[in-house]
C-alpha cells in the first residue's frame, strides 16, 4: 500500500538537503528528501541492534485501494546502540535507589530498584494534535512556553491516560487555541525515536470561526500556504506535517502518512 | 476521508451485541457494531470532562482518494471523570513520597513530590505489533506469559525509547515468533483509554517461511480466516484487528483503521 517514500534525517550539516523540498525552507533540525524507490526493508534479524534502532524510515500510505506497490527506505548509522540511559533515580513503588543494569533475559539497560527489585520501563510518549483547516488556511499557535518559546506550532501536546488520541488532539487544540474542532481523520504519525516521542496528528475543522490564544500561546492565527512561517516553526514534526499536507493538497490527493524523524544532531549532543 | 464507522464498546452484558459481526464469535471483552451514519463529533468544549474521556469512538479511514464523506460515532457515558489515580508513590528524581493533588492550572490529579515538588505525569503506552500475512493466513502466537496465558495473540509488545513503531513491531515479531518480517504498511491504531494503551498494528509479510515460538510463546501458527481461534484470543485489540482485516480482505479493499475500544467493565472494576 506504500508508493512514495520520504526519508527524513537530520545530521551534522543541517542545511544540506538531498533533494530540496518545494515547501521546506531552511530549518535547523531537518534534512529531507523524497524518493519513489526501494523495496520494503525492515529486518530485525539481519541488522545489528545498534543499526536497527537508528535507521531513518518513513512510509507514506496513499489512500488508494488500487495502490499495491510498496517500499520502505532505510539508511544505516554507526551510532552506538545503548545511547538511552534510564532516567529514573529512585523507585516509584518503594522510594529505594535504583541501579542501571541489563536484567536477565533482556537486552536493554533498565533502572532496577536496589530494595524491592522492581524493573522500571521507560516508554515513548504520544503527542497528539490537530492540523486545523479553515478556508484553505491552517491554524498555528505561537508558543508562550519553553521549549521553542515564540515559535509557531500546530496545537498539540502529550496524550493523557483516559482519553483517545483523537480526544486528546481536540483537547489540546481547545487548550492552546480555544478552538472548538471537529476531528476529521488521522493525517500523520511521526515517530522520533531519539527523544522517545510519537506524534499523532489529525485533520480537523473549526466548528465555528472562533479561536484565541490559550494560556500556553502568545497568539494564534490562520495561515495560507504561502504565509506559513517556515523559518520560525517550533519543531521538526510541525515542519514535516505541514510539508506533507501542502504537498497532498497541491496534488489534490490527501493521504495518511507514517514516518520517522531521526535526529542525529540531538543524539550527538546526548552522547558527548 | 472517513466512510464507515465502527463503535466498539464493552459493557456489563458482555455477550449482547448491537449488531453481530460475521467474524466475531462470543468474546468476554467485546461488544461491537458497525454503522455508516453520523457526522463527525468531537467537541471538547460542549462535553463535560467526565463524558469527554469515556466516549466510544472509532474512525475507519478508507484508502480511497475519491472518498470525501466522513463521520465519527460517539456515545456518552455517565462514568466519573477522575477514575484514573496516579500510580506513583515516590518521586523518581529524589525518592521523596508523593501526594496526589490537582496542580494549579491543571484539571487532572497528579502525583507531586512532597520534597522537591516535581509533578509526575503518566502517559499512555504504545503497543506495537504485526499482522503477518502468509498464503492467505495470519500468524498468531499462544502466550506463555500472563496476562492471558495460553490465549492467542498477534505478535506485539510495548514500544521502546529509541525505536520507531515499525521497528518495534518487527522486533516484537522476531522476539515472540522468531519471524523475520518485512513491514508493509500501518494497518490499525486502536486506542484503549481506560487502560492507557494505544495499539499500532502494521501489516507485514514473512521474509522467509520460518517461524517458531520465542521465549514468551507456547506455540506459533498460521491460521486461515476460518481457522482463527476467536474464542481463545488474548485481547480485545487482537479480536478487533482480525475482524477488520478479514472484513477488508473479503471486501477486496484493504484500509487503514483508527478506533477506540472502551472497556466499561474494566472501569467498573477499577472504581469499585
Q: With the C-alpha atoms ordered B32, B37, B43, B47, is the resulting torsion angle positive or negative?
A: negative
Q: How far is B90 from chain A (nearest CA, A)?
A: 5
**Residue B47 pLDDT exceeds 60:** no
Tell me what pLDDT residue B58 has.
35
Residues of chain A in contact with residue B203, where contact means CB-CB under 8 angstroms, are 1
Please report which confidence band the pLDDT of residue B265 belongs to, taking 50, 70 and 90 as the band edges. Answer: low
Give CA–CA dist A107/A179, Å, rounded: 45
- Of B137, B104, B129, B133, the C-alpha closest to B119 is B104
Which B residues in the span 101-160 are in contact with A, Cβ-Cβ below 8 Å?
105, 108, 120-126, 158-160
Neighbour tally for B89: CB within 10 Å: 14
Q: What is the mean pLDDT of residues B47-71?
A: 31
- Could you report the per-residue pLDDT of A62-92, keeping only the tens digit for each? 322 222 222 222 222 323 334 456 689 999 9
* Whole-number percent of chain A with pLDDT over 70: 65
Fold of the domain built from segment(s) B85-121: Ubiquitin Ligase Nedd4; Chain: W; (2.20.70)
Write the DSSP symbol of residue A19: S
User: Domain extents for chain A?
Assistant: 2-79+122-271, 85-121
Q: What is the mean pLDDT of residues A38-63?
A: 33
Backbone angles phi, psi at A103, to 5 degrees: -65, 155
Cell numbers representing residue B250 in the block: 473479503
Q: Is B51 exposed, middle or buried (0-12, 13-18, 19+ CB in 10 A)?
A: middle
Average pLDDT, chain A: 74
Cell numbers representing residue B226 in the block: 476460518
Backbone angles phi, psi at A24, to 5 degrees: -105, 100
A260 part of contact set with chain B, CB < 8 Å: yes
* Whole-number percent of chain B with pLDDT over 90: 62
Give CA–CA dist B238/B230, Å, rounded: 9
Cell numbers representing residue B63 in the block: 484508502
- Could you report the per-residue pLDDT of B123-157, keeping only the tens digit for each? 999 999 999 999 999 999 999 999 999 999 999 99
Tell me what pLDDT residue B107 has.
84
- Residues forming a β-bridge with A182: A205
Which of the two residues, B28 and B124, has the higher pLDDT score?
B124
Tell me what pLDDT residue A106 has.
85
Q: What is the mean pLDDT of residues A160-169?
A: 97
Q: How far is A101 from chain B (nearest CA, A)?
A: 16
Question: B126 and A122: CB-CB below 8 Å?
Answer: no
Q: For the ranges A101-115, A245-259, B28-42, B147-161, which has the lowest average pLDDT? A: B28-42
Residues of chain B in contact with residue A207, where contact means CB-CB under 8 angstroms, are 43
Q: What is the mean pLDDT of residues B48-67?
A: 31
Question: A159 and B198: CB-CB below 8 Å?
Answer: yes
Tell me what pLDDT residue A104 has.
87
Tell me what pLDDT residue A48 has.
33
B216 part of contact set with chain A, CB < 8 Å: no
User: What residues contact A169, with CB distance under 8 A and at least 6 apart?
Assistant: A128, A129, A130, A156, A183, A200, A201, A202, A204
Instruction: Say how many CA atoms lie within 13 Å of B73 toward its Cβ.
Output: 22
Neighbour tally for B68: CB within 10 Å: 10
Query: What's the angle, vertex CA B256, arms to CA B250 and CA B258, rounded to 5?
Result: 115
Backbone angles phi, psi at A204, to 5 degrees: -150, 160
B28 part of contact set with chain A, CB < 8 Å: no
Highest mean pLDDT of the ranges A42-56, A74-88, A167-181 = A167-181
Q: How far is A177 from chain B (nearest CA, A)?
A: 12
Between chain A and chain B, the number of residue pairs with CB atoms below 8 A apart is 252
Which of the two residues, A170 and B272, has the higher pLDDT score?
A170
Q: For the ranges A53-62, B159-168, B175-184, which has the lowest average pLDDT? A: A53-62
Tell me what pLDDT residue A128 has.
98
- Of A246, A244, A208, A240, the C-alpha closest to A227 is A246
Give CA–CA dist B132/B178, Å, rounded: 12
- Could you report the per-residue pLDDT of A17-33, keeping only the tens digit for each? 223 333 333 333 332 22
Highest mean pLDDT of the ranges A74-88, A104-118, A226-240, B3-17 = A226-240
B76 part of contact set with chain A, CB < 8 Å: no
User: What residues contact B53, with CB distance under 8 A and at least 6 apart?
Assistant: A162, A163, A167, B81, B193
**C-alpha distances in Å from residue B43, one per residue of A173, B39, B49, B79:** 10, 12, 11, 18
Cell numbers representing residue A167 in the block: 480526544
| Closest residue on chain B to A165 (Cα) | B191
Backbone angles phi, psi at A267, to 5 degrees: -60, -45
The residue of B161, B169, B209, B255 whose CB has the most chain A CBs within 10 angstroms, and thus the best one to mutate to test that interface, is B161
Judged by DSSP in three states, B14 sits in coil
| Closest residue on chain A to B191 (Cα) | A164
Give CA–CA dist A93/A97, Å, rounded: 11
Q: For the ranges A65-69, B161-165, B254-258, which has the lowest average pLDDT? A: A65-69
Cell numbers representing residue B71 in the block: 463521520
Question: B62 and A67: CB-CB below 8 Å?
Answer: no
Check whether domain B2-79+122-271 has CATH 3.50.50.60, yes or no: no
Q: For the ranges A22-26, A141-145, A181-185, A252-256, which has the lowest average pLDDT? A: A22-26
A80 part of contact set with chain B, CB < 8 Å: no
A216 part of contact set with chain B, CB < 8 Å: no
Backbone angles phi, psi at A4, to 5 degrees: -105, 155
Closest by Cβ to A162, choosing from B89, B105, B194 = B194
Question: B166 and A45: CB-CB below 8 Å?
Answer: no
B250 part of contact set with chain A, CB < 8 Å: no
Q: What is the mean pLDDT of residues B68-86?
A: 36
Q: What is the mean pLDDT of residues A219-241?
A: 97
Question: B182 and A54: CB-CB below 8 Å?
Answer: no
Between β-strands A256-263 and A181-192, what pairing exists: parallel, antiparallel or unpaired? parallel
Number of DSSP helices (H) and strands (E) in chain A, helices first? 4, 14
Which of the two residues, B10 and B97, has the higher pLDDT score?
B97
Give CA–CA dist B146/B174, Å, rounded: 19
| DSSP of B112-167 | EETTT-PEEP--PEEEEEEEEEETTEEEEEEESSSSSTT-EE-SEEE--TTS-HHH
Closest by Cβ to B70, choosing from A72, A185, A215 = A185
Please report which confidence band the pLDDT of residue B85 belongs to, taking 50, 70 and 90 as the band edges. Answer: low
Q: What is the mean pLDDT of residues B82-92?
A: 75
Backbone angles phi, psi at A98, to 5 degrees: -105, 160
Between β-strands B98-101 and B256-263, what pairing exists: parallel, antiparallel or unpaired? unpaired
Average pLDDT, chain B: 74
Q: With the C-alpha atoms ordered B235, B241, B244, B247, is the resulting torsion angle positive or negative?
A: negative
The residue of B4, B65, B81 whose CB has the most chain A CBs within 10 angstroms, and thus the best one to mutate to test that interface, is B65
Closest by Cβ to B57, choosing from A121, A166, A186 = A166
User: What residues contact A142, with CB distance under 8 A and at least 6 apart?
Assistant: A150, A151, A152, A153, A213, A217, A218, A219, A220, A221
| Closest residue on chain A to B193 (Cα) | A162
Which of the two residues, B10 and B228, has the higher pLDDT score?
B228
Residues of B91-109 as b/e, b for ≥16 C-beta within 10 angstroms?
A: bbeebbebeeeeeeeeebb
Question: B161 and A258: CB-CB below 8 Å?
Answer: no
Query: What's the angle, vertex CA B242, arms to CA B239 and CA B247, rounded to 5?
Result: 125
Residues of chain A in contact with residue B122, where contact means CB-CB under 8 angstroms, are 161
**Residue B69 pLDDT exceeds 50:** no
Question: B165 and A2: CB-CB below 8 Å?
Answer: no
A221 part of contact set with chain B, CB < 8 Å: no
Residues of chain B in contact with residue A193, where contact means CB-CB under 8 angstroms, are 161-164, 167
**Residue B70 pLDDT exceeds 50:** no
Q: For the ranges B40-44, B89-93, B138-142, which has the lowest average pLDDT? A: B40-44
Please report which confidence band the pLDDT of residue B104 belongs to, taking 50, 70 and 90 as the band edges. Answer: confident
The residue of A72, A159, A162 whose CB has the most chain B CBs within 10 angstroms, and thus the best one to mutate to test that interface, is A162
**Residue B11 pLDDT exceeds 60:** no
B194 part of contact set with chain A, CB < 8 Å: yes
Closest by Cβ to A89, choosing from B93, B124, B200 = B93
Tell me what pLDDT residue A263 has.
72
Q: For the ranges A18-32, A195-209, A227-241, B121-135, which has the lowest average pLDDT? A: A18-32
Amino acid at each position: 500500500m506504500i508508493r512514495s517514500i520520504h526519508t527524513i534525517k537530520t545530521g551534522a550539516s543541517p542545511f544540506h538537503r538531498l533533494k530540496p523540498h518545494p515547501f521546506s525552507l531552511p530549518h535547523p533540525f531537518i534534512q529531507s528528501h523524497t524518493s519513489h524507490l526501494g523495496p520494503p526493508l525492515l529486518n530485525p534479524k539481519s541488522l545489528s541492534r545498534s543499526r536497527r534502532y537508528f535507521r531513518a524510515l518513513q512510509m507514506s500510505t496513499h489512500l488508494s485501494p488500487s495502490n499495491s506497490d510498496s517500499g520502505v527506505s532505510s539508511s544505516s548509522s554507526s551510532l552506538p546502540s545503548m545511547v538511552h540511559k534510564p532516567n529514573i533515580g529512585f523507585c516509584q513503588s518503594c522510594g529505594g535507589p535504583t541501579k542501571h543494569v541489563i536484567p536477565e533475559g533482556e537486552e536493554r539497560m533498565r533502572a532496577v530498584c536496589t530494595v524491592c527489585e522492581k524493573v522500571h520501563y521507560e516508554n515513548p510518549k504520544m503527542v497528539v494534535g490537530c492540523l486545523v483547516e479553515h478556508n484553505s488556511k491552517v491554524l498555528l499557535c505561537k508558543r508562550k512556553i519553553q521549549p521553542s518559546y515564540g515559535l509557531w506550532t500546530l496545537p498539540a501536546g502529550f496524550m493523557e491516560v483516559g482519553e483517545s488520541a483523537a480526544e486528546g488532539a481536540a483537547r489540546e487544540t481547545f487548550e492552546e487555541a480555544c478552538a472548538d474542532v471537529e476531528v476529521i481523520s488521522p493525517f500523520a504519525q511521526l515517530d522520533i525515536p531519539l527523544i522517545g516521542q510519537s506524534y499523532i496528528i489529525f485533520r480537523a475543522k473549526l466548528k465555528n470561526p472562533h479561536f484565541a490564544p490559550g494560556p500556553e500561546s502568545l497568539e494564534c492565527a490562520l495561515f495560507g500556504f504561502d504565509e506559513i512561517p517556515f523559518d520560525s516553526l517550533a519543531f521538526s514534526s510541525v515542519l514535516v506535517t505541514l510539508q506533507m499536507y501542502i504537498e497532498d493538497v497541491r496534488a489534490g490527493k490527501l493521504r495518511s502518512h507514517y514516518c520517522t524523524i531521526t535526529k542525529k544532531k540531538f543524539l550527538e549532543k546526548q552522547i558527548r
